[in-house]
Structure 1
Amino acid sequence: MKLVGISGSVVGDKTSQAVHDVLMAAKSFDSSLETELIDLKEYDIEIVRGFPLVSYNQDTWDVVNKITSADALVFGSPIYQASISGVLKNLFDHLPVDAFKSKVTGMVTTGGVEKHFLVSEYQLKPILSYLKGMVPTYSVFVHNDDFNDDNEITNKLVNERITKLSQEMLQLHKAINQNN
């Protein structure tokens, strides 16, 4: 099984660290798990212009193919102006409508305002569902204050939610594949 994490930020490291922590938590439950972190700040994803995927640059092509070939995914986004990041939304716009069919798609968000934990439920979850993703009941919101100066998550409750999300993702993936 391949679990791919996507950090939907082009600045900072908090979102990337949170997604990485979910990947590592999942790996601790299944050592055979293959993981990959796609940090969007390391790629030049072109703005969607309505053309077929082959019309876009190699980075766009590579990231879309990594995502569509993954067995399960965890998406991370910083919250800007009570919304997911534009680069993550742009990436979603490159994907086919059934991109996540029979795939577990976890959610991690980071932000500076506690009320922004609802963004994953009201903005990110509908997008993942529209793309046919199986969205776990657990999601993770990490407040900026939950990181130390080295961008490590120090809040015990957040780390517990990361563990629960990774466990649920693995359980759902196993259940989906037993029935297929």
Structure 2
Amino acid sequence: MKIAVLIGSLSADSVTMKGAKVAIQAARTAGAEVEIFDLRERPLPMYDPEDEGKYEEENVKAFVELMTQADGFILGSPEYHNGISGVFKNALDFIGSTQFANKPVGLIASAGGPVATNTLNQMLTILRSLHAYVVPQFASVGYGVTFKEDGSFENQNMQERFEKVGRDVVNLVKAMKQSAEVK
């Protein structure tokens, strides 16, 4: 089982990625192979619906292929001006329901305030329109949340919440595959 991760932050010290790594580790522990598509290392061009050659670009090809092959996803975005980041939205414009329909997705965000509610709601709206199964547990890193040296959260409740996102994606993939086999 393959879980694809997309984090919409270009920050070298991304708080969103720090939180996502907790969920990623939980997904790996639950038995998933996890692959991160790092937009900082592999930038995508600006999406242009009229550019017929856009899918021939190396990073775009790799991104679309990863997202198509994935059984589930962990997606994250920092909250910029009460919404998802531009690079996150741009990346999603290259893919659609072909990649997300009937696949589990865990959502993670980070905020300059207590909770990235608007970002999580925007992500939920987008993923619902693409027919994904968004797991009910969301995870948000608020302002002032700290991490230990090993990458875990200082706050045990935060640690458990982010781990649950990773486990829930894996468990839903397993349940959906099992259900498909029964038919």
**TM-score over 0.5 (shorter chain):** yes
Q: Aligned pair 1:34/2:33, yes or no?
A: yes
After superposition, the Cα gap between the structure-2 partners of 1:52 and 1:144, relative to the gap in structure 1 and judged at 3 Å, is farther
The alpha carbon displacement at 1:130 in A equals 1.3
Mapped to 1, the partners of 2:111 and 2:29 lie a distance apart of 26
The alpha carbon displacement at 1:55 in A equals 4.3
Q: Aligned pair 1:126/2:125, yes or no?
A: yes
Measured on the aligned residues, the alpha-carbon RMSD in Å equals: 1.9
Match of 2:128, SS?
helix
For residues 74-117 of structure 1, give each alpha carbon's deviation from its aligned partner in whole angstroms, at most 9, with x where no partner exists.
00110000001010101111113332112111100011111423
Match of 1:99, SS?
helix
The alpha carbon displacement at 1:10 in A equals 1.0
Mapped to 2, the partners of 1:172 and 1:160 lie a distance apart of 18
Amino acid of the residue matched to residue 37 of structure 1? I
Number of equivalent positions: 177
Tell me the TM-score normalised to structure 1 length.
Answer: 0.89
Asked whether the 8 Å contact 2:9–2:87 carries over to 1, the reply is yes
After superposition, the Cα gap between the structure-2 partners of 1:49 and 1:151, relative to the gap in structure 1 and judged at 3 Å, is farther
Q: Counterpart of 1:78?
A: 78
Q: Aligned pair 1:24/2:34, yes or no?
A: no
Mapped to 2, the partners of 1:115 and 1:20 lie a distance apart of 18
Asked whether the 8 Å contact 2:5–2:74 carries over to 1, the reply is yes
Amino acid of the residue matched to residue 136 of structure 2? T
Q: Counterpart of 1:171?
A: 171
Tell me the TM-score normalised to structure 2 length.
Answer: 0.88
Gaps of 5+ in 2: none
Mapped to 1, the partners of 2:77 and 2:54 lie a distance apart of 26
The alpha carbon displacement at 1:52 in A equals 4.0
After superposition, the Cα gap between the structure-2 partners of 1:86 and 1:155, relative to the gap in structure 1 and judged at 3 Å, is same
**Identity over the aligned pairs, expressed in percent?**
25
Mapped to 1, the partners of 2:128 and 2:99 lie a distance apart of 10
1:23-172 paired onto structure 2 within 5 Å: 23-30=24-31, 33-50=32-49, 51-52=51-52, 55-120=55-120, 122-148=121-147, 152=151, 153-172=153-172
Asked whether the 8 Å contact 1:100–1:132 carries over to 2, the reply is yes
For residues 1-50 of structure 1, give each alpha carbon's deviation from its aligned partner in whole angstroms, at most 9, with x where no partner exists.
011111111123211222121110111222xx211122211112011111
**More moved, 78-87 vs 43-52:** 43-52
Structure number with greater CO (CA < 8 Å, separation at least 6) is 2
The alpha carbon displacement at 1:154 in A equals 1.8
Mapped to 2, the partners of 1:116 and 1:55 lie a distance apart of 32
Gaps of 5+ in 1: none
Asked whether the 8 Å contact 2:78–2:85 carries over to 1, the reply is yes
